[in-house]
Structure 1
Amino acid sequence: MKVTATLEKTLALSAHAGAVRLPSHLRPRAADGAARRTIATCGARKSDWATRHGSASRSAAAAAAAGGSSSGSTGGFYTSREEFLASPEAQEIILRSMASMEKKQKWHAAPSGGEVQFSVVIAGPDGPEEGYGVGLVKQRVDYSKPESCKDLVNPEEVVIREPTIQVLFDYPLSTPTTETLHGDVPGGGGFTRRHLLACLQDVYTHIYAEEEAAAPVPDRSGRSLLNRPTTQGPYGIWGHELGDLLLTGMKKLGAEGPWVRRSATPSAKPEPAAQPPAAVASNGAGSSAAPPPPDAAKAAPPAPAPTTAKASAQQPSSDLAELKRVLATAVAAQEQYSQYSQEQVDQIFYAAALAANQARLPLAKMAVTETRMGVVEDKVIKNHFASEYIYHKYKDEKTCGMIEEDPAGGVTKVAEPVGVVAGIVPTTNPTSTAIFKALLCLKTRNALVLCPHPRARKCTIEAARIVRDAAVAAGAPPGIISWIEEPSMLVSQSLMSAPEISLILATGGPQMVRAAYSSGNPALGVGAGNTPAVIDETADIRMAVSSILVSKTFDNGVICASEQSVVVVDQVYDAVYDAVREEFATRGAYLLNEEEKEKVRQKVIINGRLNADIVGQSVQRLGEIFGINVPSWAKVLVAEIDVIGKEEPLSEEKLSPLLAMYRASTFESAVAKADRLVNLFGAGHTSVLYTNPLNQKHIRLFERTIKTVRVLINCPASQGAIGDIYNFHLDPSLTLGCGTWGSTSVSMNVGPRNLLNIKSAIERRENMLWFRVPSKIYHKAGCLEEALSDLRGKERAVVITDRPLYDMGFAKRVTDVCRALKIRHRTFYNVPPDPTLACIKEALDEINRFEPDVIIALGGGSPMDAAKIAWLMYEVPDIKFEGLAMRFMDIRKRVYEIPQLGRKAALVAIPTTSGTGSEVTPFAVVTDERTGQKYPLADYALTPTMAIIDPLFVINMPKGLTAAGGIDTLVHAIESYVSIFATDYTKALSREAVRVLVKYLPRSYNNGPNDFEARERVHSAATMAGMAFANAFLGICHSMAHKLGAQFHIPHGVANALLISHVIRYNATDKPMKQAAFPQYKYPQAKSRLAGLADLLQLGGETRDEKVIRLIEAVEQLKAQVNIPPTIKDVLGAAREAEYFAAVDEMAENAFDDQCTGANPRYPTIADLRQILLDAWDTPILPLTTLEFPPKKREGSSNGAGQVHPARAAPSGVPLSPEAIWDTDRC
C-alpha cells in the first residue's frame, strides 16, 4: 500500500491521428456517463488538432511504422523518472507553473521566507470509498525571489493505492473548498473524482489554445474550474499541471513541438523511486499511473532527441523576451509622449481617428473573415463609432496639464497619464475595440500594448497598425501603440502582470476579465451581460419590437449589451390588437416550436459554457448548427419559455440572434423576472424597459429594482448602451463597466478620465467666517419702551419669566408697554432655575393655545433658555433634542439641522442679570427631568430676533449674582479672545469686555445700586462678551465648569472662576502637544494674545511669560475683590474631598466631549483636563513663577493620613510621588 509518488511518462501517443490512450483508471465506466462525455471530448479535441496539423501526424505515423523516431506530436517514453526530470520539458513545465503561481496565486502575499502548508490530494480509481487521502507539505520559501519557487519541497511519501493521480494543489490548507473528499478533512479540503476528470479536459483545453479561446470547458456543475470563486482557493497554471498530460503536448501549437520522446523502449512497469526532486513538486502535479499499454512497449528502439527540440523548448522564453522588448519600447515612448502639449495631443488624436475612420470597411471585412463572426456592414458601423463618435465626444476635452482651475477656491486639477496600458481585445469586436482603446490612450498621453485574441490576431494588429502609423506621422513617438504578434495564454498573463503595466483595459470573456483583475495590476474590465427587455402594457409595441430586432440583429448579436430575453406583460403578449408575439413574427422573428426549442437547448450551452460555434452567427447558420429548418426571411430566433436558471440554457447569455421570451401576469411580475435574469447571469450590465414615457411609476419601479449600471428606457440595448446614439448624455464607449454588481471596478462607460491620474493642487484657503447676532440690539437706560415700540403691529405676546421677577414687577413693566401698543399678552412665570422639559411643555401648551406672534424672554439664563426652546418647539414641533444636542466641529456643517425660526413668532430677549450673554447667543440648555440628562443646544436659528439691554433691570442685582455673573463674563471674554475661531470682529469685543470688567466689576460689586455707571458698564460688557463668544465660541474652562457645576451644583460663574487661572496657564504655550485644526489659526497664538491682554490692562512684565503671569495675578485679585474663593476645596469643603476625587475621571472625560472643547487653542487630552481638575482642588495657583504645565515639583494632596490620594495614584494602584504624578499625567 505504501508507494512513493512518482512522475513518469505513462501516456502513449498513438501513431494514428494523434489519438490519446488514457490509463485504465481514467477511462469512464458505463455508470459514469458524465465522465465518459468528458474523456470523449478530450479525445475529440486531440483528433481535431491532429486533423488540422495532419502533416506532423502523418510524418509521425510514417516514422513509427518504420520503427524510427520522430519529433513533433508523436512520442515515446522516458526510460526513467530521472531522465524526465533532467529534460527541458520538465523544466519548462516548472518554470511556467511558477511564473503563473507567483502572480496569479499571490505567492508574494506571504511573508518572505515564510512556511506554508499545502494539501496533496490523492484520487483513487473507484470512487470515494477507495484510494482517497490527504497529505501535507511544509516548506520555507523566499517568495520575494521567483526563482526560489523551484526549490519548493516535494510531497512527503504518501500512502496511496495504485493506480492513482496525485495532484499538488497550491492553496493553503486553511482555505476549505465547497466539496471535500470524504467528510471533513482536517484543516483543508479537496476535490472529488469528478473534478479531477474535468481537470484532464481543462488541460487539453489549454494545450490547444484555439479551442480554449472559443469555449473553455467546465466541470459537470457548469462552472469552469478557471472561473471558481476565489474564496475556494486558487489553482496552478491554468487549472492543474497533471504532469502526464502536459507532457503530451502543452506547446503543440505548430507543426513541431518541444515534447519529444527520449526513448522508444519503455519500462514494463514503473519503478518506485526516491522522493522526487524539488523541481517536480514545484510544478504542482505528479502522477503514479498505470503501466503503459502493451502495444506501446513494442515501440521503436531508443533514438536521440532531434536538435529542434531544444529550440522549441526555448520558444516560450523568446516570446517573453519579445514581450519585454515591446514593454521597454512602450515605456520609453510613453515617457516622451507624456511631455506633449494639449495641442500636440489633439493633432495626433485627430490624425489617428481620421485614419481609423477611413479604414473602417477593410477592417470590418478582415474581422469577419478571420473570426467568422458578425456582419461586415455592422462592423463597419462599429469601426465608424469607435473613431468618429469617440473623436467628436472627446476632441475638446482637456487631458494634458491643468484641466480645471478655481482661483477663488484655491483648487487646481492637473491631468497626468497613467503610463503603459495593456489592452485586452475580444474576438467578438476586435477592430472597433482596438481603435477605441488606441484613441483613448492617444488622447490621454498613455502608451498602449494590445493583446489580441488568437482568433482575431491579424485584424486586431492591422487596426492597431493603422492608428499607430497615423499617430506617428502626426508626431507621436514610434512605440506609443504596440501589440503582441503571437498571443498565447502565457504571454497574455505575463503582459497583464508585468510591472511596466500601469493599467489593464480588459474587454473579453469573464475568464479573461477575472485574470486581469487578479493580475496584481489595476484593471478596468467589463462584466457578463444578460440584458432583459421588459415590455409593459403602455408601451408602443411596434417601436419596442422593432428596437429589439434592430439591437439583436446588429452584428449578429455579439455586443454584450444586446437583449438576451424579452419579458412581456400578459395584457399585450398575445392580445387581439397590438400583440407583442404577433409583432415579432410580422417583423421577421421566427418563433420556435417545442421540438425546435429542445434541439436548440442541446447546442446553446455545452458543458456549462456558451457554445462558441453559435457566437456571432447568422440565423441560417444557427439553423444548421441546431439541426432545424429556419426560413430564409427569419432574422431572429425567438424561444418562448418560462423557466429562469441554469436548468434552462435559453435563459443565459447567447451572443447570437437568438432571443428568449417570457410572459408575466403583471408589470411587477415582469420586473421581478427581469431582475432574476440580471442577477443570475448579467448583474450590473444593462437592462431595458419599453413603456410610455409618461408612465413614471413604472419607470421609477424599474430603476429601483434592477441592479444594472445602464437602465435604458425605450432604447435598443446594443446601440443604446454604448452611448451617444440614443442619448447624447451617455458617454460613447466600447468598454462598459458593470460596477460591483458585475464584479468590476467601474460603473460607467469607460472614457478618457478613467485613463488619467488627476492631481488636485489645493491651496490653503480660510473658510468664510461669520458674525451673527440679533438683527436689533437696543441698549442704554430706559430703552425698554422705545425698543418694544418696534413690535407695533404684533397682535399677541407671551412673556416667559420666573416667579421672583414676576413678583418683583419686572414682567409688569413689559406688559404695560404691550398694553399701550394694543398687543394682547399672557405671562408664563413657572420657569425653575434649571429649565426642564416638563417646564417647557407647560409653557408650550400656553403658547399653542394663545398662538402669539411674539415671545418675550425676561430674566437671566434660565428664562432665556426656556423661551428659546419653547420658541423652537412652537416653530418646529417635531424637533429631536438628541439630534440638536449632537457635537459639531463647524456649526454651519452640523449633521442635524433646523429651519430658520421666526415664521410664527419673533423672539425678544431682555436680560435681567449681567453675565450669561444669552440675549445675543444661539445657545440654550434644557434638562430631561426623567433621566437627569442635560441637552446643550447650539444653532444660530436660536439667536433671538431682538435684544434689549436696559441696565435699569440690573440696578438692584444682589452681590453674589453680581460676582458670579461678572466673572462668568470675564471668562467669556478671555476664552473667546484666544479661541481658534476668534476674528477681528470678536476680538475687539472680547478686549473691550475684559477692560471694562477689570475696571468696573469691583465697583459694581461693592457699590451696588449706588454706582449706576458701574452697573451699566458691566451690563454692557456682558452683552459684548456674549456677542464675541456667540461667534468665536469658548474653551475648556467652560467645558470643565459645565461638568463641575452639574456634579456639585456650583453656580456656573463660580465654577468658571475656580478654573480660569489654571486654564490660562495651560493655554499659554507656543508648543502645545496638540493644536486644534482650523485654517484661521495658523500657529499657536494663545500666549501672545494673553500677553496682549496684560498689555491692554497695563499690568507690566518684560517677557510674554511674565505678562501672562501678571494676567493670572490680576484675575486672582479680581476674584478676591468679589469674594470668590481661590480653590474648589474652599467652596465644597474638605469633607467632600473623597467625593470630588472619585468624580474627577468622569468629569474629565465628559469635559473632553463638551462642545466648547473643540475651540480651545490647545487641544487637550483627557489626562490634561483631569490634571487641571486636580490642580484646582486645593492648591491656590499663586504665587506663580512658571507657566510650565504641569509644574515639575508640587506637593500632592493629603488624604487624611499623609497618603497620596487614590485619584493621584498610578494605574496599578501604587501611590506615586508628587513628581511622578505630574510626569505620568502629562502622558
Structure 2
Amino acid sequence: MSQLDAVFARLEAAGEIIEGYSQEQIDRVARSVVDAGVRENRRLSELAVSETGYGRVADKMVKNELSTTILWDSIKDEKTVGIIREDAGRNIWEVAAPVGIVAAVIPCTNPTSTTLYKAIIALKGRNPILFSPHPSAKDCIGETVKVIREALKQVGAPEDTVQILENPTIELTNEMMRHPKTGVILATGGLGLVKAAYSSGKPAYGVGPGNVPVFVERSADVEKAAKDVVAGKSFDNGTVCASEQSVIVDAPIADRMLDALKRNSCYVVNDEEKKKLEKVVVSPKFTANPKIVGKDPAVIAGIAGFSVPEETRVLLVPMDGVGKEHPLSIEKLSPILCFYVEDDWQAACERCIQLLNFGGLGHSLGIHSRNLDVIREFALKKPAFRILVNTPTTHGAVGYTTRLMPSMTLGCGTFGNNITSENITAKHMVNVKRVAFEMNPVNPGSESPLQVGGTGGIAEIIDRKLQGRVIAETPHDVVDFVSERDVLDAVREGRKILISSRTMVTPLAKDTARDHDIFRKVD
C-alpha cells in the first residue's frame, strides 16, 4: 500500500464513523472547528503573513472570521443528515448523503481562511477531507490542520477525518485528485490547477480568475464609491480574487472621483512609473509576478524603481486600453488599480466586458450607482455571476457586506469553465437522494404508499387523512396524521400530540419531535 493509499484508508475509516452521526452530533463537530478557528485567529493570521509574505495580519483575521463565525451563521440551521426536506405537493422526500472524501487544494494567498472554510463545509456534510497545501504556505496550513484535528479530538470525533499531505508536490496533488477514493475536489488556485482538477475524472468545484472591473456611474455617491473601491482594492493587499482590478469612471464625475481616490491614499503613477510597473508586475505568461503579489504599495514601487509615500494604500494607473498591449489590465493580486474614464454607461459597459474577457469571465463585477435602470442593464449584459452594487467587490462577493453565501471559493459558471456559478458552501458537500411516491398510477392497487399501484398515490391518501383527521386541540384528542408543521405548532403552543398505532407520522415530524417530548401514544 502506498503512502497516499494509507492516508485514504484512514480517511475512509473516519468517514464511516461520522456518516453515522446525527445532525446534532455533526453540527457539534463542525462548530468545534469554528470555535477553534476563532480562538487561534490571530496566531494563524500571523503565521500566514510571516510564511508567505502576502497581505496584512489584520485583514487575514477578517478572512478567518468570514471563514468561521460568519460562515457558520449562514449554514448552522441547514439539515445535512437524514430526510432534509419533504415536498408534500409533489410527494417527494429529499435525503442527504455525504459526497465522500473531499480532496481540497489550498492557495498561498488565503491559506488559513480557506483551510478553515473547506473543513467546516466538508464536516457539515459528514465528509472527511484531505488538504494539499501550496508549498509556499504549507507550514501555516499545516498548523491550521493541527488546530482542526485537536478540535475534533476534544469533541470525540476521529481526528483522521481531517488530514494533510505533509510534503505536497504537483505530482502528489494530481494523484490525490485522481485517487479512486476521492469523492469530490475543491480546487482553489491558478488556472493550471483548476484545469487539472476538471481533467481528473472526478467531480470538481473549481474557480476562475477574477479580473474584476467596477463602474462608478454619474449618479453614484462619489465619496462612498471612492472609499469602497480603496477598501476593496487594499484589503489584504489585493490577494482576494474578487478585489477590484480596474475602476471605470463616468466622464462627468471623473475629476471628482480621482480627487476622492487621492484623498483616500491612492498614488497616481506617471507614464514613466507606469512603464516601470509593467516590467515587474506582469510575468511573460501574462500572470501576476509572485514577487509583487500581496505586497505593500511602497514595496512594489521600490521593486519597480520609484518611491511613494509610506501611507499609500493603492497605486492608481491611468489606462486607455485592455489586452496584451496594456499589460496592467490583467488580474494583479496586489494593491494596483487601473483607472479608466468613459463617456457614458454604454461605453463603460463595453469596457467592463473587455476586462472580463481578458481573464475574468464569469467572476464578479462592481457598480456604484443610484440608477436602477443602469444597474439592471449591467446585470443583463455582463458575463459575470456576481454583480456587486454600491459595495467593495472584495467584501461583497465573498458575502461579508452582502447576503451572498460566505465563501472562499467563488464559482464562475460555464463562462469561466466552471460547473457552478454559485459561492461554494455546505450544500455543495451533500448528495441528495429523492424518494418519490406514485402520483399517477399505471395499475390499480392498495392505498398503501409503500406499494406500487396505489389508487390515488400518497398525495390523495394524505389528503383524505387530512380531511378526516381529528384536530388536536386538547391533549385528549388522538390524531391520525402528523406533519412537521403540526409538531412545530405544538412546540410553540406548549401542548402534546396524542397518537395511536394507526397514526401516520412523517419522517421530518419524527425528527423534529425527537428533542421536544411532544408525542403521547395511546393504544
TM-score by length of 1: 0.36
**Paired residue for 2:388?**
712
SS at the partner of 2:159? coil
- Kindly state the Cα deviation for residue 540 of structure 1 after the two structures are TM-superposed: 0.4
Structure 2 residue 296 is matched with structure 1 residue 618? yes
CA separation of 1:346/1:981 partners in 2, compared to 1, >3 Å: closer, same or farther?
closer
1:1080 and 1:703 map into 2 onto residues whose CA distance is 49
1:640 aligns with 2:314: no
Match of 1:671 in 2: 349
3-state SS of the aligned residue for 2:2?
A: helix
Which amino acid is 1:702 matched to? F
Following TM superposition, by how much is the alpha carbon of 1:646 offset from its aligned partner in structure 2, in angstroms? 1.5
**Deviation of 1:478 (Å):** 2.3
Task: Give me the whole-angstrom Cα distance separating, in 2, the residues matched to 1:533 and 1:719.
Answer: 13
Residues 1:607 and 2:284 aligned together? yes
Query: What residue is the counterpart of 1:753 in the other structure?
Result: 427
Alignment correspondent of 2:491: none
Q: Give a deviation string over 1:807-861, Cα, whole Å, max 9, x none.
A: xxxxxxxxxxxxxxxxxxxxxxxxxxxxxxxxxxxxxxxxxxxxxxxxxxxxxxx
Question: Conserved in 2, the CA contact under 8 Å of 1:420 and 1:501?
Answer: yes
CA deviations 1:851-889 (Å, max 9, x no partner) are: xxxxxxxxxxxxxxxxxxxxxxxxxxxxxxxxxxxxxxx
Query: How many angstroms apart in 2 are the aligned matches of 1:383 and 1:587?
Result: 26
Choose the corresponding residue for 1:374, options 16, 35, 55: 55
Alignment partner for residue 590 of structure 1, among 236, 245, 267?
A: 267
Q: Which residue of 1 aligns with 2:477?
A: none
Q: Distance in 1 between matches of 2:234 and 2:188?
A: 21
Q: For 1:378 and 1:610, how far apart are their aligned partners in 2?
A: 21
Q: Secondary structure at the match of 1:642?
A: coil
Partner SS for 2:107: coil
Q: 1:734 aligns with which of 393, 408, 415?
A: 408
1:476 aligned residue? 157
Deviation track 1:241-290 (CA, whole Å, cap 9, x = no partner) reads xxxxxxxxxxxxxxxxxxxxxxxxxxxxxxxxxxxxxxxxxxxxxxxxxx
| Matches of 1:633 and 1:478, distance apart in 2 | 45
Q: Deviations over 1:202-240 (max 9, x none)?
A: xxxxxxxxxxxxxxxxxxxxxxxxxxxxxxxxxxxxxxx
SS, match of residue 634 in structure 1: coil
Q: Residue 1081 of structure 1: CA displacement?
A: 9.8
Change (3 A) 1:408 1:545: closer
> Partners of 2:133 and 2:2 in 1: how far apart?
18
Cα distance in 1, alignment partners of residues 367 and 238 from structure 2: 19
Asked whether the equivalents of residues 981 and 1081 of structure 1 are also in contact (C-alpha less than 8 Å), the reply is: no
**What letter is aligned with 1:726?**
T
Q: In the alignment, does 2:182 pair up with 1:508? A: no
1:454 maps to which residue?
135
1:613 alignment partner, SS class: coil
Q: Does the aligned pair in 2 maintain the 1:330–1:481 contact within 8 Å?
A: yes
For 1:683, the aligned partner's letter is: L
Give distance in 2, aligned partners of 1:355 and 1:660.
Answer: 39
C-alpha distance in 2, partners of 1:614/1:336?
45
3-state SS in 2 of match to 1:637: strand
Q: 1:697 to 1:623 in 2, by over 3 A?
A: same
Task: Give CA-to-partner distance per residue, 1:1161-1199, whole Å, 9 cap, x none.
Answer: xxxxxxxxxxxxxxxxxxxxxxxxxxxxxxxxxxxxxxx
**What is the distance in 2 between the residues matched to 1:349 and 1:478?**
13
CA distance in 2, matches of 1:741, 1:506: 17
| Alpha-carbon distance, 1:408 to partner | 5.3
Is 1:763 aligned to 2:437, yes or no?
Answer: yes
Tell me the SS of whatever aligns to 1:661.
Answer: strand
Q: 2:226 aligns with which of 529, 542, 545?
A: 545
What letter matches 1:720 in structure 2?
G
* Residue 486 (str. 1) matches residue 154 (str. 2): no
| AA aligned opposite 2:325 | E
Output the CA distance in 2 between the equivalents of 1:652 and 1:402: 46
User: Structure 2 matches for 1:517-556, cutoff 5 A?
Assistant: 517-556=198-237
One-letter amino acid matched to 2:62:
I
For residue 606 of structure 1, give the secondary structure of its aligned residue in structure 2.
coil
State the alpha-carbon separation in 2 of the partners of residues 527 and 1080 from structure 1: 52
Contact 1:739 / 1:746 at 8 angstroms: preserved in 2? yes
Distance in 2 (alpha carbons) for counterparts of 1:981 and 1:477 = 50
Cα drift, residue 742 of structure 1: 0.7
The structural deviation recorded for 1:633 is 2.3
SS of aligned partner of 1:565:
strand
Question: Which protein has the larger Cα radius of gyration, Structure 1 or Structure 2?
Answer: 1
- TM-score between the two structures when normalised by the length of structure 2: 0.84
Paired residue for 2:449? none
Where relative contact order (Cα < 8 A, 6+ residues apart) is larger, the structure is 2
- Which string of whole-angstrom CA distances, capped at 9 and with x for unpartnered residues, describes residues 143-193 of structure 1? xxxxxxxxxxxxxxxxxxxxxxxxxxxxxxxxxxxxxxxxxxxxxxxxxxx
Is the counterpart of residue 685 in structure 1 residue 359 in structure 2? no
Distance in 1 (CA, whole Å) between partners of 2:89 and 2:43 is 53
What are the residue-to-residue correspondences of 1:339-358 with 2, within 5 Å?
A: 339-358=20-39
1:496 to 177, 182, 205: 177
CA distance in 2 between counterparts of 1:390 and 1:667 reads 35
> Displacement of 1:409 after TM fit?
3.4
Confirm or deny that 1:428 pairs with 2:428.
no
Q: Is the 8 A contact 1:623 1:629 kept in 2?
A: yes
1:498 alignment partner AA: H
Distance 2:359 2:385 in 1: 15
Partners of 1:538 and 1:397 lie apart in 2 by 40
Q: In structure 1, what is the Cα distance between the partners aligned to 2:412 and 2:175?
A: 26
Distance across 1 between alignment mates of 2:262 and 2:372: 30
Which of 602, 619, 629 aligns to 2:307? It is 629
User: Shift in Å at residue 471 of structure 1?
Assistant: 1.6
* Distance in structure 2 (CA, Å) of the matches to 1:408 and 1:664: 52
Q: Distance in 2 between matches of 1:656 and 1:393?
A: 29
Matched-pair contact (CA < 8 Å) for 1:421–1:503: yes
Q: How far, CA to CA, are the matches of 2:33 and 2:217 in structure 1?
A: 44
Q: Distance in 1 between matches of 2:247 and 2:261?
A: 11
> Which position in structure 2 is the counterpart of 1:573?
254
Q: Encode CA deviations 1:24-72: one digit per residue, 9 max, x unaligned.
A: xxxxxxxxxxxxxxxxxxxxxxxxxxxxxxxxxxxxxxxxxxxxxxxxx
Task: Report the equivalent of 1:29.
Answer: none
Q: CA RMSD in A?
A: 1.8
CA distance in 2, matches of 1:645, 1:981: 65
Summarize deviations over 1:448-483 as a string: whole Å, max 9, x none: 000000000010011111112102221212210000
- d(CA) in 2 for partners of 1:562, 1:355: 28
Identify the range of structure 1 (631-640 vs 427-436) with the bigger mean alpha-carbon deviation.
631-640
Find the counterpart in structure 2 of residue 845 from structure 1.
none
**C-alpha distance in structure 1 between counterparts of 2:152 and 2:231, whole Å:** 35
Q: How does 1:744-1143 map to 2 (within 5 A)?
A: 744-766=418-440
Q: Would you identify which runs of 4 or more consecutive aligned residues in structure 1 move more than 4 Å?
A: 1078-1082
1:878-903: CA deviations, max 9, x gaps?
A: xxxxxxxxxxxxxxxxxxxxxxxxxx
More strand per residue: 1 or 2? 2
Alpha-carbon distance in structure 2 between the residues aligned to 1:598 and 1:409: 63
User: How many matched pairs?
Assistant: 449
What is the DSSP-based 3-state SS (H/G/I as helix, E as strand, rest coil) of the residue aligned with 1:431? helix
Q: What SS does the aligned partner of 2:358 have?
A: helix
Deviation at 1:406, TM superposition (A): 3.1
Distance 2:408 2:236 in 1: 14
Question: 2: CA distance between counterparts of 1:626 and 1:543?
Answer: 31
Structure-2 separation of matches of 1:586 and 1:1081: 72
Q: Secondary structure at the match of 1:676?
A: helix
